Amino acid sequence: MGKLSNIRNSKKWRMGIIGWLIAIVILLIIFWKKGTVWLYAILVLLCIALWVEWFNQDIDLGKFLETGNYKESRVESVQDGKWNSVRLITGTCATKDFDLDCKDFATQTDAQKKYDQCANQIKENNPNITNINAFDIYGLDKNKNGIVCEHLPKTAK
């Protein structure tokens, strides 16, 4: 992966660029009296972009227009097995919405059901992903074999 890709995938760099653009727009508003309405509109959009980046609240506009549901159009940034940052439409399986561990499930079957639901949702929304096991957004599959929480009993006692 090239240096430019590493910069583009860095949240710190994206926030820095947005910050610089905000500063430039503020200076233009102060010193250039023409077009201030447009500059204020640009400033608002840049502030929204900064908020989205800061709080990881990104959405896929195409998915949002298709479904009309914010939660189903959330985009998460996750790391693949090679430490590449990948943006995924995760729908209702967002990492920020759930902090799941194997201890949150009574059985391996329950954990597997949740894992499979989210894996299928991620794969459906991201057809370019070939190895879905690399994107275990909950961290339930430590050895990346597709079988989660292997130490839990298969069924409830």
Residue 103 has which token pair? Answer: 């201890």
**What's the confidence (pLDDT) of residue 40?**
95
**What's the confidence (pLDDT) of residue 35?**
80
For residue 78, CA distances in Å to 56, 124, 155 come to 11, 16, 31
- Residues in Cβ contact with 139 at an 8 Å cutoff, skipping those fewer than 6 apart: 101
Q: Over range 140-144, report the average pLDDT.
A: 83
User: What are the φ and ψ backbone dihedral angles of 46, each rounded to 5 degrees?
Assistant: -65, -40
Confidence label for 1 from pLDDT (cuts 50, 70 and 90): very low
Burial of 112 (0-12, 13-18, 19+ CB in 10 A): buried
**Residues 157, 154: Cα–Cα separation, whole Å:** 9
CB 141 within 8 A of CB 148: yes
Q: Over range 139-155, report the average pLDDT.
A: 85
Structure confidence by residue, pLDDT tens digits, 12-52: 888 899 999 999 999 999 998 788 899 999 999 999 989 88
What is the dihedral angle through the alpha carbons of 55, 58, 64, 68, rounded to the nearest 10 degrees? Answer: 0
**Residues 141, 34: Cα–Cα separation, whole Å:** 57
Extents of the domains making up the chain: 3-54, 61-134
Say if pTM beats, i.e. exceeds, 0.75: no
Q: Over range 126-150, report the average pLDDT.
A: 79
**What's the confidence (pLDDT) of residue 100?**
77
**What's the confidence (pLDDT) of residue 28?**
93
Structure confidence by residue, pLDDT tens digits, 72-121: 777 776 665 555 556 666 666 766 556 678 888 999 999 999 888 888 87
Residues in the chain: 157
**Residues 117, 92: Cα–Cα separation, whole Å:** 10
One-letter amino acid of 128? N
Q: Over range 62-68, report the average pLDDT.
A: 84
